[in-house]
Structure 1
Amino acid sequence: MTTTTLTIEPLIVPVALDAPDGADFRAYGQLNRQICDEMVGLPDIAPDAAQLLASWQDSTDTLQTGFVARNGDEIVGMITIAYAQEADAKAAEADLLVPEKHWGIGVEDALLTLAESEARAHGRSLVQMWTLHRPIESERMISPRTGWGRIPAIPLSDALEARGYDFEQVERNSELDLRSDPAPLQVALRSAQEAAGDDYRVLQWMAPTPPEFRDGYASILARLSTDAPSGEMDFVAEEWDAERVVRRERRLTGAGQALSIVAVQHVPSGDIVAYNELLVGADRSGITHQLGTLVSREHRGHRLGTVVKCANLLHWRELMTFSPAVSTFNAEENRPMLSINESIGFVPVSYAGAWQKRI
């Protein structure tokens, strides 16, 4: 195949997966999982098409777009581009999906060029991308501008470097075996709650969030975009309110997923100051994904990160008895959170590289 035979068309967002025009979106879900399998042997870190569709249908907070590359009738790659809808957002977040058998013949170049052109057309001055890497040592290891962590070079990281992307940050993908002995979680939770003291109390609920907690939950969710370590990645400060919490949970649970939230409330102020989220798909025997975990800056040092993580994991083990493991991503420079993970049994299974280009 040569690039002259390549055709690229917009990815259609169907009203339903089984709609007459839903074939490409179903293929998108399959390709997403295939790429994660090829890159790191972990297809389950990618959501399936049903889980993705709700987010694509609701563009209130993030506009999702995509393009499908074909050689004749064969899909040879896709690229998706997401645009945060805050007024001051500068970045477009792209995800390149090209199978190994179609790499190196022009598909990735055409899709990356298109993504940069689309980002400009949407008024963005940055393109951000993430690469996936196995937890191995190779002949050529590359380090990010943060100075924390390093990953083996791969064809996609080489392609991004060649196009002028800066390698900004390494994220560690860790897993916890949910079938392991819960004693370390129980011990860690008791110790952390004693250290936190009576000024903090644990809240737990399954989505949808009860109305009385939505404003407080929105406030702590907004902190994730500004308080979590992100190196020099340019993330917009997200704007959250109770209505956005409702929209987000509708998207996250729209295909039968279950979402558990454990939060810590500061009793004197009534503020929610820490939270942890666990999500599993409609197939409860699948991998559980830890979404956000954060302790607000003003309340760090009281072991609240351990409280929300351990309390949610212990509750989850009782609730979702068939899910084998929890998967989570954390910045390599986020040593406090990684130390918690390591102490309760999380182990590294892959790494992600965060890349950014000014256009």
Structure 2
Amino acid sequence: MNTLLIEELALPATPDADDAADFLAVVELNNAVCRSDAGTDDLSQTPAELLAGLRDTADEIQRVFVVRESGVVVGCVIVGHATAEPTSTQFDLMVLPENWGRGLENALLARAEEETRTLGRRVMQTWTLHPGQAPSPTIAPATGWGAVADTALSGLLARAGFTLEQVERNSAFDLQGPMDGVHAALEASLSAAGSDYRLVEWTIPTPAELKDDYAWALSRMSTDVPAGALEIDEEIWDAARVERREARLIEGGQTMSVAAAQHVPTGRLAAFNELVIGADRGEVTHQFCTLVLREHRGHRLGMLVKCANLLRWRDVAPRSPRVSTFNAEENRPMLDINEQIGFVPVSYAGAWQKKLA
């Protein structure tokens, strides 16, 4: 390219606003890159979903930087950082294969690092997407669990000083198939959990009496989930943060169902599972968070909340074809549950990290 100008994108008020053309181009680019890298359409986002997250800056600030060629967006990097947690930035670098090799990817990566340094943060993190059948050669993460294809983006990150810290498996469950095994697994897990735990379920917004405890359980996602050597700040959640998160989802046209196990002696939530779908309930369902708090493990609560929510989901979104979810390859307890229920591998993601000097 003769000239390379990186500009911050001004977000439109709505996806159909008069000034939304460049934003819509970013959405299209994001979805095309996901499809190209992972080999599946399951990871696409709608304009309403992406815009709701970008415009809400209470808990995370995300800046969108684009490169245009002849007025057309041909590259983008979105750089985000949590407002309460101080350590890292996370970024998504988007350039289609036909535009690699002309300097776009290098310039956008440099812009992400510049933004990180300006913020005074010392860690950069990003995730690469990879097909289910990884061609050779492959790269193994620092954890030793799993491997991903050695792609152009992986090579760029490695040369820039990033380390592949973790591999995540993207799995899918067929929602239109028989549910006999799910029913049986739920009954077995309810029996194993015993009278100390009871199932509670809701569709957001979360009932007022559960918000504080749900906030506590969500905060434990930052401390109780396998993360390899990724530097993850302990997150601080309260009822207001839960409300803001759910407002973003609802603004983006999304519906979320939560199935949780409540510890009867204390009244505290011990495990939970989230399923989310967009405005079109005939599209793919996404599993967001699933967690069994450390102190409640060993009672089959992971199986309990996953199976309960899958069965509940049949009423929420009966036309959705499948559930898509990500789990760390070293998280064998959760992958064992997935495999027993019937989830199958579809694609993979690599978690990369760079510590700035």
Bucket of the pairwise TM-score, normalised by the shorter protein: over 0.9
Q: Of 237, 240, 243, which aligns to 1:243?
A: 240
> Partner residue of 1:354?
351
> Partner residue of 1:113?
110
- Higher mean displacement: 243-252 or 88-97: 88-97
Preserved contact between residue 42 and residue 324 of structure 2 (Cα < 8 Å): no
Q: Which runs of 5+ in 2 are unaligned?
A: none
> Partner residue of 1:194?
191
- Higher mean displacement: 99-108 or 21-30: 21-30
> Partner residue of 1:72?
70
Q: Distance in 2 between matches of 1:48 and 1:8?
A: 24
Preserved contact between residue 262 and residue 311 of structure 1 (Cα < 8 Å): yes
Q: Distance in 2 between matches of 1:264 and 1:32?
A: 36
Matched, 1:205 2:202: yes
> Partner residue of 1:58?
56
> Partner residue of 1:27?
25
Q: What is the aligned-residue RMSD (CA, Å)?
A: 1.0
> Partner residue of 2:8?
10
Preserved contact between residue 148 and residue 332 of structure 1 (Cα < 8 Å): yes
Q: Distance in 2 between matches of 1:168 and 1:89?
A: 20
Matched, 1:100 2:97: yes
Shift of 1:111: 0.2
Any idea what the Cα deviations from partners look like across 1:297-326, whole Å, max 9, x if unmatched? 000000000000000001102321110000
- Higher mean displacement: 42-51 or 226-235: 42-51
> Partner residue of 2:322?
325
Q: Distance in 2 between matches of 1:288 and 1:187?
A: 22
3-state DSSP of counterpart to 1:190: helix
Preserved contact between residue 7 and residue 71 of structure 1 (Cα < 8 Å): no
Q: Distance in 2 between matches of 1:182 and 1:139?
A: 37
Preserved contact between residue 172 and residue 332 of structure 1 (Cα < 8 Å): yes
Q: Distance in 1 between matches of 2:351 and 2:210?
A: 33
Shift of 1:328: 0.1
The alignment-based identity, stated in percent, is 50
Given residue 129 of structure 1, which amino acid in structure 2 is its aligned partner? Answer: T
Q: Distance in 2 between matches of 1:250 and 1:18?
A: 20
Shift of 1:235: 1.1
Any idea what the Cα deviations from partners look like across 1:237-289, whole Å, max 9, x if unmatched? 11100010000000012122111001110000000110000000000111000
Pairing of 1:206-225 with structure 2 (within 5 A): 206-225=203-222
Given residue 213 of structure 2, which amino acid in structure 1 is its aligned partner? Answer: G
Pairing of 1:233-272 with structure 2 (within 5 A): 233-272=230-269
Shift of 1:74: 2.0
> Partner residue of 1:42?
40
Tell me the number of residue pairs that the alignment of Structure 1 and Structure 2 aligns. 356
Matched, 1:306 2:303: yes
3-state DSSP of counterpart to 1:18: coil
3-state DSSP of counterpart to 2:182: helix
3-state DSSP of counterpart to 1:260: strand
Shift of 1:174: 0.1
Moved over 4 A (4+): none
Q: Distance in 1 between matches of 2:86 and 2:229?
A: 15
3-state DSSP of counterpart to 2:214: helix
